[in-house]
Amino acid sequence: MSPVSDRSLMKNILIIEDHRPLLSLLASHLQGQGYSIRTATTGRIGLALLQEHSFDALILDLGLPDMDGMEILAQLHHPDRSQRLPCLILSARDAVHNRIQGLRGGADDYLLKPFDLVELEARLSAILRRAAPHRYQQLLIGNLRFEPEVRQAWVNDRALMLPRRESVLLQELMQASPRLLIKDYLLEQLYKSQTDISLNAIEALISKLRRKLREHDALVCIDTVRGVGYRLRAL
């Protein structure tokens, strides 16, 4: 996957984590995925950075040396703040009540340590997408074009006729490209409140969409990250 080359398109992420080897690993991995990263090893430094800079999301460790991460979360959701900052909590606190406390405290997701870096990036991408305003501008990747307002796709100038769910799936993949979308997120977007739908339904839709893109000579590819999700990229 190619990292984002235009810095104006980069998402700015702050990571507050006191374990320096993990912090370095996180920063290196996310920079490689096209994110702009700033880091802090204490809550005090993190809060100072939050006041001085604008961020698109926060990755927050709860077990900081100078304060509990929940204190930072509380400040982020103070009524005086004009804009809400999406937050992904990292913690070894695996009790259910800890996770509930974090999510009720305003976190968008809660990831237990140890974790897989691919899963972390997928979860971060998901919360960024949920926080983004709904946009209707044209999407263009390779020779594949999509108009969100009418949910219509074209390869070159040839219309690609897709059922509603395949059309929604393509839009989600193109809006996120080249980042990864996790299966659970896609299931939620495509089937909403239907609780009896399995992840196999997503796999079936992906297979159909791949076939149609291939038949129309679309210069894109849908990659599978086994057990996690999918990403669409230009060939």
Sequence-separated (6 or more) residues with CB below 8 Å from residue 175: 129, 135, 139, 148
Please state the rounded mean pLDDT for residues 164-191: 89
Is the four-CA dihedral 108, 109, 113, 115 of positive or negative sign?
negative
What's the pLDDT tens digit per position in 54-94? 888 999 999 999 999 999 998 887 655 545 789 999 999 98
Residue whose entry in the numeric block shows the structure tokens 């679309």: 218
Do residues 96 and 74 lie in contact, with contact meaning Cβ atoms separated by under 8 Å?
Answer: no
How many Cβ atoms from other residues are within 10 Å of residue 4's Cβ? 15
Least reliable range by pLDDT among 5-9, 37-41, 152-156, 221-225 = 5-9
Residue 158 burial class via C-beta count within 10 angstroms: exposed 0-12, middle 13-18, buried 19 and up? exposed
Do residues 84 and 77 lie in contact, with contact meaning Cβ atoms separated by under 8 Å?
Answer: yes
Please state the rounded mean pLDDT for residues 28-56: 92
How many Cβ atoms from other residues are within 10 Å of residue 36's Cβ? 16
Q: What is the pLDDT of residue 184?
A: 86
pLDDT at 2 over 70: no
Least reliable range by pLDDT among 31-40, 163-172, 188-197, 198-207 = 188-197
Q: Which amino acid is at 132?
A: A
Q: What is the pLDDT of residue 7?
A: 40
What's the pLDDT tens digit per position in 141-172? 999 999 887 889 999 989 999 999 999 999 99
pLDDT at 1 over 50: no
DSSP 203: H
Do residues 48 and 142 lie in contact, with contact meaning Cβ atoms separated by under 8 Å?
Answer: no
Do residues 186 and 229 lie in contact, with contact meaning Cβ atoms separated by under 8 Å?
Answer: yes
Least reliable range by pLDDT among 19-23, 136-140, 162-166, 228-232 = 136-140
Residue whose entry in the numeric block shows the structure tokens 């796709």: 153
* 5 three-class SS: coil
Q: What is the pLDDT of residue 199?
A: 86
Pairing of strands 109-112, 158-160: unpaired
Q: What is the pLDDT of residue 208?
A: 97
d(CA 73, CA 34): 25
Q: What is the pLDDT of residue 78?
A: 65
d(CA 206, CA 36): 30
Q: What percent of the chain has pLDDT over 90?
A: 62
How many Cβ atoms from other residues are within 10 Å of residue 70's Cβ? 18
What's the pLDDT tens digit per position in 89-118? 999 998 999 999 999 888 999 999 999 999
Least reliable range by pLDDT among 2-11, 34-43, 67-76, 107-116 = 2-11
Q: Report, in this order, helix, strand and coil percent for the chain, each rounded to 5.
A: 40, 25, 35
Which domains, ranges and CATH numbers included, belong to the chain? Answer: 7-131 (3.40.50.2300), 139-234 (1.10.10.10)
Q: Which two tokens stand for residue 156?
A: 């070159």
